Structure 1
Amino acid sequence: MSRTLLAAVAAGLISLSAQAQAQAPADPPKNDYGDKANWLCLPGRADACAADNTTTVIAADGKMTREAWTGDPKAPVDCFYVYPTVSNDPGVISDMVAGPEEISVVTSQLNRLGAKCRIFAPLYRQFTLTALRAAVAGGPAASAARPNTGYLDVVDAWNWYLAHENKSRGVVLIGHSQGSGVLTQLIAKEIDGKPAQKLLVSAILGGTSLPVDKGKDTGTFKSIPTCKSAGQVGCVIAWASFRDTVPPPANTRFGRPRDLNPAMEAVCTNPAALAGGSAPLHAYLGTTTNGQDAAAWVKGGAKVETPFVSVPGLLTGACVSKNGFNYLEVHVNADPADPRTDDIKGDVVYGTQVAQDWGLHLIDMNLVMGDLVTVVGAETKTWLKH
């Protein structure tokens, strides 16, 4: 399997052959989502979503200040999150035991939103990284079907949440990569035009290519438009991010519909500027993930000891349409004259080679996390008025 195909499969953008689909094994037994062990995160307990989100804010002059964070257990809306491809479990689908990779990803992509919403994050039997590695090596996964087990698990978790926890509360759906692909199916089949749509505050789908009709704000979802303002509700935000210095190459599957339908285009909604245009990105970047050295944020400065940093003014983003791709173009406002770092990590790297077709997929969510918190806060105010 090529790196391009691997990237697309990992991101939930494509499945394997129709012949392989026909060879898929029977679905395993259903999970009981009434069992709290089947959830990564639930309100009111100390779990993966209660991790420390303390941040060091680094100004351009190198000055560091500490930013505290607390969740809101009484938040008036809920967040329902589906995580990306992270499982290192053996086999094609993961088990239902949270490993360090699942715990790490909710810390990176989700916890901070706990200041605005109650968090629900189900475990699900996702397509694993292990299976992708086997496919690259030409093993059994190369000819096996991509199971639908993960999607069916998330449907069961969603229905359990609706029956036992929602109680007519507004809900924000959040996903990244494979998680966004699963949520796209869920929204299209279970929410769009259905009674549950009235509960939708918004859907936030990072690291994906959501098709809409060209020039329109609907397409895959018939009655759920793209978000155009921070106070709008019942809408969808979707994007895939690339450096302005490394735009999407011809072999990427991000930034355009997976079936290359000429009547459709991929959504790009910049969480920092939903109405369009360029804006500073309120990023929260991990200090010990994605290869960023905790000691390298400020030249000659103290080592950063918080799990996250924020770098005001360093990053700017805009949704652009270039060469047939729609994507979030990220510019690093480097200034060699100041002591703060002039670059960030986040590229997918094979050895020493940057995989340009992935873009900044690893940090799609981190790049705009502060903006997402702001948007969910504004949407909540609108939701409560209704």
Structure 2
Amino acid sequence: LTARNQVARLAAHCRIYAPVYKQVTLTALIARLGGESSSGVDAGQIAFDSLLDAWKHYIANENDGRGVVLVGHSQGASILRRLMQQEIDGNDVLRGRLVSALLLGTTVAVPVGADVGGDFANIPLCRDAGETGCVISYASFLDSAPPPEDGFFGRASTGVAACTNPANLAGGRGTLRPYFESDRSGGPFNERAFVRIVEEPWVEGQEITTPWVTLPDFVEAECVVRDGASYLEITVLTGPADPRTGDIGGEVPLPSFGLHIIDANLGMGDFVEIIGQQAEAYNSN
């Protein structure tokens, strides 16, 4: 499910490797966010070691010197950030193979007003689709539901949380090209009541028979800094006479999560185009 939502469409430009690693379970994550004490097992370290093993196996047996695009969301993005710090940021050879990294739904810290520094000493934020060796990162929130003061997404302990708008990497507003699942029931997330079910269809009076749906000029995005949080603000561009829904879903019962469930879906069409341009630039060099 995760690979289908977050990386499958990138197969237009990439050979996909999606390692199955020992993640912290959803139950444990919810307990941790609720302030419950851990069992004494360092689940985060176990998850990191598992992914690190996968990365080292890939580099030794599968990479063959090719450029790589790293994609992670939420817990996966946090682990990838640590892996990049440990294995790539200070390694000239591996850093030279980095086409880009999509670290979505997590915090990548940068100094205020800067695109490099903070979590990475040598890897900057992407500010042009032809730029390589850089990072795209954001946490998304509806314009009507910004991050709460006690939230953790969009906030960094030092500096500021990076926000790169895939619809306008240079900065400013832009119209996203999202790809959403046609099924609005919440899928397996609904089994744990972890996502809000949306009853209304994507388009009133129109049956959608494909597994994915995209709507033109539907969602606008802009990186904003407000009340101490740096995040991707999402505006749905529908009006009273528009047959398209104004409810894009993606929320979970915790307000601090924002549109966490659909972070990747919101920018997927843009990612495909950006990575295509990055791959062309990388190969030309």
Letter paired with 1:154: L
Whether 1:268 and 2:154 are equivalent positions in the alignment is no
Q: Report if the CA contact (8 A) 1:175-1:205 is conserved.
A: yes
Root mean square deviation, CA, Å: 1.8
Please tell me whether the aligned partners of residues 198 and 247 of structure 2 are also in contact (alpha carbons under 8 angstroms). no
Q: Which has the larger radius of gyration?
A: 1
Q: Determine the C-alpha separation between the residues in 2 that align with 1:276 and 1:139.
A: 39
Matched AA of 1:130: T
Residue 136 of structure 1: CA displacement? 7.4
Instruction: Give SS of 1:365's match.
Output: helix
**Equivalent residue letter for 1:107:** R
1:50 aligned residue: none
Identify the match of residue 235 of structure 1 among 134, 137, 142: 134
Report how many aligned residue pairs link the two structures: 272
Consecutive unaligned residues of structure 1, counting only runs of 5 or more, are: 1-103, 350-354
Find the aligned partners of 1:266 and 1:140 in 2 and give their Cα distance: 27
Percent of pairs with identical residues = 44
Alignment match of 2:120 (pick from 218, 221, 231)? 221
Asked whether the 8 Å contact 1:132–1:141 carries over to 2, the reply is: no
Q: Which residue of 2 aligns with 1:177?
A: 74
Check 1:129–1:243 CA distance in 2 against 1; reply closer, same or farther (3 A cut).
same
Alpha-carbon offset, residue 131 of structure 1: 2.4
Match among 173, 178, 188 for residue 283 of structure 1: 178
Contact 1:135 1:142 in 2 (8 A): no
* Cα distance in 1 for residues equivalent to 2:88 and 2:3: 24
Offset of residue 318 of structure 1: 0.7
| 2:147/2:256 contact within 8 Å kept | yes
Alignment-derived partner of residue 18 in structure 2: 121
Structure 2 residue 244 is matched with structure 1 residue 345? no
Whether contact under 8 Å (2:137, 2:163) holds in the other structure is yes
Q: Which residue does 1:197 correspond to in 2?
A: 95
SS for the counterpart of 1:121 is coil
In structure 2, the residue matched to 1:317 is 221
Which deviations, in whole Å up to 9, do the C-alpha atoms of 1:293-340 show, x marking residues without a partner?
Answer: 5x7122222x21211100111100011111111110000112111222
Work out which of the residue numbers 365, 376, 380 in structure 1 matches 2:264. 365
Tell whether the 8 Å contact from 1:209 to 1:267 is kept in structure 2 after alignment: yes
Counterpart selection for 2:55 from 153, 158, 167: 158
Q: Deviations over 1:197-231 (max 9, x none)?
A: 11000111000111011221122110001111000
Q: Structure 1 residues 149, 318: closer, same or farther in 2, change over 3 A? A: same
Letter in 1 for 2:181: G
**Counterparts of 1:367 and 1:292, CA distance in 2:** 17
Distance 1:135 1:210, change over 3 A: closer
> 2:139 & 2:51 partners in 1: Cα distance?
23
Q: What is the TM-score with the length of structure 2 in the denominator?
A: 0.90
Measured at CA, do residues 244 and 196 of structure 1 come closer, stay the same or move farther in structure 2, by a change above 3 Å?
same
The alpha carbon displacement at 1:292 in A equals 4.1
Matched residue of 1:203: which SS?
Answer: strand
Shift of 1:137: 8.6
Structure 2 CA distance for aligned equivalents of residues 305 and 105 of structure 1: 21
Within 1, Cα distance between the matches of 2:2 and 2:119? 27
- Could you say which residue in structure 2 is the equivalent of 1:48? none
In structure 1, what residue type is equivalent to 2:112? K
* 2:150 is aligned with 1:251: yes
The letter for the 1-side match of 2:222 is: A
Unaligned runs of 5+ in 2: 187-196
> Is the 8 Å Cα contact of residues 298 and 339 (structure 1) preserved in structure 2?
yes
